[in-house]
């Protein structure tokens, strides 16, 4: 009969040899990774803070007059994309925007009508309910100022998560047509512009607000490194 003690001692010798050979090297490597990650974090922090300062400068400019976005290539590309996107709802006010693709030619660029956008905030509703189903809802609010008239765009939906496999998102065109446009048109009702200009301004301002959401959603970029320490198997 084989001596079990002899068998175990041979195995344990191999385990101890493995421990003495690799564990110190792994521990040293872990310390090197942690130290290097701290160095990278410290070096990155200044740039992250600078990005935050720049984003604050941009949002301050939008609060003063969001028409500063009119000459930007991003807005022009956004308008082109909107004009090519079909509306999802048959009852929408129209299937495509009639505004010019070059925002620098908009009526908004020619009038003395500052557009202030501020106080962008996102909201989470953990108890949403729709058609006998629960969901987690995400929406946002935004303050809109036309000249001296200010108004809050409330609870504009972003998406609903029903379960891990089902998520319903509100397209940016849907947000503009179904939520933003109506409020903008309401703000313009008492302003002294011809009705044809009010219609055009409503289109242009709604589009400008829609594009600004991309700016408000920006956050400072951080480098990502996924690392998990090696565990004993």
Q: Element (H or E) spanning 76, and its range? A: helix 73-84
Percent of the chain that is helix, strand, coil (3-state, to 5) = 55, 20, 25
Bridge partners (DSSP) of residue 169 are 159
Domain ranges of the chain: 1-221
Confidence check: pLDDT of 91 > 50: no
Per the rule left: phi > 0, alpha: psi between -120 and 50, beta: everything else, 131 is left
Task: For residue 1, count CB atoms less than 10 angstroms from its CB and return exposed for 0-12, middle for 13-18, buried for 19 or more.
Answer: exposed
pTM here is 0.81
For 133-165, what is each residue's pLDDT tens digit?
899 999 999 999 998 899 999 989 999 999 888
pLDDT at 95: 45
Mean per-residue pLDDT over the chain, rounded: 88
């Amino acid at each position: 009969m084989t001596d079990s003690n002899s068998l175990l001692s041979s195995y344990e010798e191999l385990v101890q040899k493995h421990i003495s050979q690799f564990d110190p090297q792994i521990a040293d490597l872990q310390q090197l990774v942690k130290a290097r990650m701290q160095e990278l974090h410290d070096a990155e922090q200044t740039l992250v803070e600078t990005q935050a300062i720049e984003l604050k400068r941009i949002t301050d400019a939008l609060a003063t007059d969001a028409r500063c976005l009119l000459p930007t290539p991003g807005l022009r590309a956004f308008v082109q994309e909107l004009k090519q996107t079909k509306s999802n709802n048959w009852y929408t006010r129209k299937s495509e925007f009639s505004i010019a693709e070059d925002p620098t030619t908009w009526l908004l660029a020619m009038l003395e009508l500052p557009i202030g956008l501020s106080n962008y905030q996102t909201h989470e509703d953990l108890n949403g309910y729709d058609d006998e189903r629960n969901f987690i809802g995400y929406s946002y609010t935004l303050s809109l100022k036309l000249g001296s008239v200010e108004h809050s765009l409330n609870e504009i939906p972003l998406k609903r998560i029903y379960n891990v496999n089902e998520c319903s998102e509100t397209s940016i065109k849907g947000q503009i047509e179904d939520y933003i446009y109506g409020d903008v048109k309401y703000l313009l009702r008492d302003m002294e512009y011809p009705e044809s200009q009010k219609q055009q301004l409503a289109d242009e301002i709604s589009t400008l607000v829609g594009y600004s959401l991309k700016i408000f959603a920006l956050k400072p970029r951080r480098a990502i490194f996924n690392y998990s320490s090696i565990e004993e198997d």
